[in-house]
């Protein structure tokens, strides 16, 4: 099976329903953003300590590792971890034990868990062309962690099912109670699919990532390049819907927000856009085993 490149990925997706709201979102976004990094407000119902959030995220990460095939490659892990370390250090939550794993699937996606556990799909890496696009992708996920978007919505789900107190009481144990509750939702990935981040969450994660990228020394134009590629994907894909695009604001809206920030900040002339290490990293993925085939639907 051939690995999907950007042009092949163009056939996969469309977000036409989201585009119906693009003009209004575009105007609202441009009116609201003036080169200011978002200040995260923690909702009153989220009373978790960092230690509790990390423990919760670790439980989900362990479940994800059972449900997905993760790539075990020391060179790939070291490269991705180096990027995460630099971005996390200049984020608004630098003290979390961030980690990242590459998922061996051609699905175009990335996601983050409570406490700083990040996952990046092989298909999304093969879609992008340069290191600044990769950094934009990763910093967006760190932005979700900084904004506490995943943990906020997980807490609401647990509270709605009246299991939140039980989860919190068992975070420090290995008795399987927390895992059993996660499985009641269909497993970690199924529960994460129910989170449904708001468009405000996604745009906030973009901007938090934008400023992390800038401070860490990469060129934040990578966000713009990435969103324009997604926009092209959307326009050329026909009637098929890619879940990654469908769950995010339209690429045109995200690109407009980044353009606004780029007009207001000074990007250093030596900001990193690409590297030989990134290109070697992409080539190394060609040596990885093929992803497991999806089970046929019954």
Q: For residue 29, is pLDDT > 60? A: no
pLDDT given at position 16: 30
Q: For residue 155, is pLDDT > 60? A: yes
- Asked, for residue 2, whether it belongs to a domain, the answer is no
- Asked, for residue 113, whether it belongs to a domain, the answer is yes
- Asked, for residue 264, whether it belongs to a domain, the answer is no
Q: For residue 287, is pLDDT > 70? A: yes
Higher pLDDT, 3 or 79: 79
Picking from 205-209, 231-235, 268-272, which range would have the lowest pLDDT averaged per residue? 231-235
pTM equals: 0.85
* Domain count of the fold of the chain: 1
- Asked, for residue 118, whether it belongs to a domain, the answer is yes
Sequence-distant (≥ 6) Cβ neighbours of residue 217 within 8 angstroms: 86, 268, 270, 271, 272
Share of the chain above pLDDT 90, in %: 73
Residue 20 pLDDT class (50, 70, 90 cuts): very low
Parent domain of 112:
44-223+272-285
DSSP state string for the chain = -PPP-HHHHGGG---HHHHTTHHHHHHHHHHH-SS-PPPP---TT----HHHHHHHHHHHHHHHHHHS-B---HHHHHHHHHHHHHHHHTSS-TTS--EEEEE---S--EEE-TTSEEEEEHHHHHH--SHHHHHHHHHHHHHHHHTTHHHHHHHHHHHHTT-HHHHHHTTT--SSHHHHHHHHTTSHHHHHHT----HHHHHHHHHHHHHHHHHHTB-THHHHHHHHHHHHHHHHSTT---HHHHTS--HHHHHHHHHHHHHHS---TT-B---HHHHHHHHHHTTSPPPPPPPPP-
- Asked, for residue 56, whether it belongs to a domain, the answer is yes
What are the pLDDT digits (tens) for 65-85?
999 999 999 999 999 999 999
- Asked, for residue 121, whether it belongs to a domain, the answer is yes
pLDDT given at position 158: 95
- Asked, for residue 251, whether it belongs to a domain, the answer is no
Higher pLDDT, 83 or 35: 83
- Asked, for residue 80, whether it belongs to a domain, the answer is yes
What are the pLDDT digits (tens) for 170-192?
998 989 999 999 999 999 999 98
């Amino acid at each position: 099976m051939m690995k999907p490149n950007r042009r092949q990925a163009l056939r996969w997706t469309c977000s036409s329903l989201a585009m119906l709201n693009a003009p209004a979102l575009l105007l609202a976004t441009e009116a609201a953003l003036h080169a200011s990094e978002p200040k995260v407000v923690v909702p009153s119902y989220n009373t978790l300590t960092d230690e509790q959030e990390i423990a919760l995220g670790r439980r989900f990460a362990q479940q994800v590792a059972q449900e997905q095939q993760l790539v075990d490659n020391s060179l790939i892990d070291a490269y991705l971890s180096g990027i995460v370390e630099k971005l996390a250090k200049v984020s608004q939550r630098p003290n979390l034990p961030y980690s990242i794993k590459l998922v061996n699937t051609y699905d175009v996606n990335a996601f983050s868990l409570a406490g700083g556990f990040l996952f990046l799909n092989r298909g999304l890496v093969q879609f992008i062309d340069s290191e600044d696009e990769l950094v934009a992708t990763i910093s967006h996920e760190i932005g979700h962690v900084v904004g506490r978007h995943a943990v906020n919505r997980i807490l609401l789900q647990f509270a709605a099912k009246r299991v939140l107190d039980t989860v919190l009481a068992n975070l420090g144990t290995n008795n399987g109670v927390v895992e059993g509750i996660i499985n009641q939702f269909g497993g970690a990935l199924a529960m994460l699919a129910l989170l449904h981040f708001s468009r405000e969450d996604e745009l906030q994660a973009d901007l938090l990532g934008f400023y992390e990228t800038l401070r860490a020394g990469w060129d934040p134009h990578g966000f713009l390049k990435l969103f324009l590629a997604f926009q092209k994907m959307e326009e050329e894909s026909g009637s098929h819907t890619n879940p990654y695009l469908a769950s995010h604001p339209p690429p045109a809206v995200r690109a407009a927000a980044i353009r606004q920030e780029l007009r207001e900040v000074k990007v250093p002339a030596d900001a990193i856009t690409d590297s030989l290490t990134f290109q070697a990293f992409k080539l190394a993925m060609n040596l990885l085993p093929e992803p497991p085939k999806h089970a046929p639907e019954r």
